[in-house]
Amino acid sequence: PDEIVVSELASRLKVTAADVIKKLFSLGVMVTINQSVDYDTACIVAEEFGAKVTKEVVVSIEERLFEEVEDTEENLQPRSPVVVVMGHVDHGKTSLLDRIRHANVTSGEAGGITQHIGAYRVKAGGRDITFLDTPGHEAFTAMRARGALATDIAILVVAADDGIMPQTVEAINHAKAANLSIIVAINKMDKPTANPDKVKQELTEHGLVCEEWGGDVICVPVSAKTGEGIDELLEMVNLTADVLELKANPDRLAKGVVIEARIDKGRGPIATVLVQSGTLHTGDTIIAGTAVGRVRVMRDDKGKAVKEAGPSVPVEIMGLAEVPSAGDDFAAVEDEKLARELVEKRKFDAKEEQFKLYKKVSLDNLFSQI
Ligand code: GTP
Ligand code: MG
């Protein structure tokens, strides 16, 4: 933050306000307990009391704000898998998901290109699976990288008539970097030009060897158009999830990641978040990146209002004061005031970072001109 109230500074330094006021007085700054001093002055005072400011203030806010709960045998419960669907543009990611959830999103999307990461929950084999759709267009590479972080399994969609393309390779790299289990869906098998063996051959060149060729990668031939292979694909997702033994503690303040966020003219900022541990409730105060707010309304992926969302559940939330960024972490907190302080701090740090960058760039320019 740009400034800090004397009483707050004193409590963070674990000294009395009187001590701080005295110290300030000796520095020529006259303030009362409820007045603020600027950041630089606070730093000088803190150093006088033997504290290293910047870091310790940040750490102490975060330590005070976020609930730290250790995962133990007792508090961990099984959770459903989070599956990200990745692949080259037009290879059929959205169509495949449509097939899986019997809906039709493709026709409603602008130009048929997925603009955001959609999050859906699907029942298969008696259990829930959370799916994230990621855009395949090159311009969305950064978003896709974020999408992969919050997930357990990647379905790599490869069109059987097209084979491995540049963004397929990117997707493979993202999945590997995020340590995801990869299942390959060889799509568009209904096409006369489909050549699954060619796809498998190309996959081996990128270190993915299919099971029937002696490797450990599950490859399922599918068609989003006819529905061929979809049940088997879901079965493979469930099998893979079983091996991973996914667990989370539902009985703590919620933590997770922002999947997408936008501003709605009538309703204000709306964010789709994926809960990773804990349970999110309506009325909870949350902090997401530099946005704070109380969850007013929460909707599931079918648009139905819900009161709580546990691990692996994606929900759309309203109530944040600003729009967070896709990929931001979010956490429910008890102390709203402290959350606001942390947000101010984060904004301040971001500004400072930007300023440093600006200074660096302009200095570089300066030298290059000499
Ligand atoms: P982006 O989100 O833009 O990256 O594309 P996407 O991977 O989500 O592909 P999408 O589902 O939008 O499908 C692209 C085109 O392929 C559409 O015209 C689909 O109708 C077609 N398509 C998808 N799956 C199949 C399939 O199994 N068979 C056939 N014949 N066409 C398919
Ligand atoms: Mg799509």
Q: Which atom of ligand 1 is nearest to the CA of 136?
A: 4
pLDDT higher at 130 or 348: 130
Adjacent-strand bridge partners of 264: 268
The band of 287, judged by pLDDT with boundaries at 50, 70 and 90, is very high
CB 89 within 8 A of CB 171: no
- Annotated ligand binding at 279? The verdict is no
User: What is the C-alpha separation between 63 and 50, in angstroms, rounded?
Assistant: 20
Using one digit for the tens of pLDDT, what is the confidence trace for 214-227?
A: 999 999 999 999 99
- Annotated ligand binding at 281? The verdict is no
Q: Which atom of ligand 1 is nearest to the CA of 191?
A: 30
Please give the span between the terminal C-alpha atoms of the chain, in angstroms, as a whole number: 37
Tell me the three-class secondary structure of 215-230, residue by residue. CCEEEEECCCCCCCCH
pLDDT higher at 51 or 162: 162
Distance 87 CA to ligand 2 centre (A): 9
Is the shortest distance between the CB of 95 and ligand 1 below 6 Å? yes
Distance 58 CA to ligand 2 centre (A): 40
Using alpha carbons, select from 101, 89, 237, 218 the residue that is nearest to residue 165.
89
The band of 370, judged by pLDDT with boundaries at 50, 70 and 90, is very low
User: What is the C-alpha separation between 214 and 232, in angstroms, rounded?
Assistant: 20
Residue 38 DSSP SS3? strand
What is the 8-class DSSP label of residue 305?
Answer: B
Using one digit for the tens of pLDDT, what is the confidence trace for 35-89?
A: 888 888 888 888 888 776 654 554 467 777 887 888 888 899 999 999 999 999 9
Residue 283 is predicted with a pLDDT of: 97
Pocket test for ligand 1, best of 85, 88, 94, 95 (most atoms within 8 A of CB): 95
| Amino acid making up residue 342 | L
Counting ligands in written order, which one lies closest to the CA of residue 157? 1
Residue 250 is predicted with a pLDDT of: 96
Q: CA-based diameter of the chain, in Å?
A: 85
- Annotated ligand binding at 198? The verdict is no
- Annotated ligand binding at 136? The verdict is yes
CB 163 within 8 A of CB 198: yes
Distance 224 CA to ligand 1 centre (A): 8
Judged against a pLDDT cut of 60, whether residue 232 lies above it is answered with yes
Of the CA atoms within 13 Å of residue 235, those in its CB half-sphere come to 7
Q: In the chain, pLDDT over 70 holds for what percent of residues?
A: 85
| Amino acid making up residue 311 | P
Average pLDDT, the chain: 85
User: What is the C-alpha separation between 220 and 230, in angstroms, rounded?
Assistant: 9
Is the shortest distance between the CB of 1 and ligand 1 below 6 Å? no
Residue 124: Cβ within 10 Å count = 16
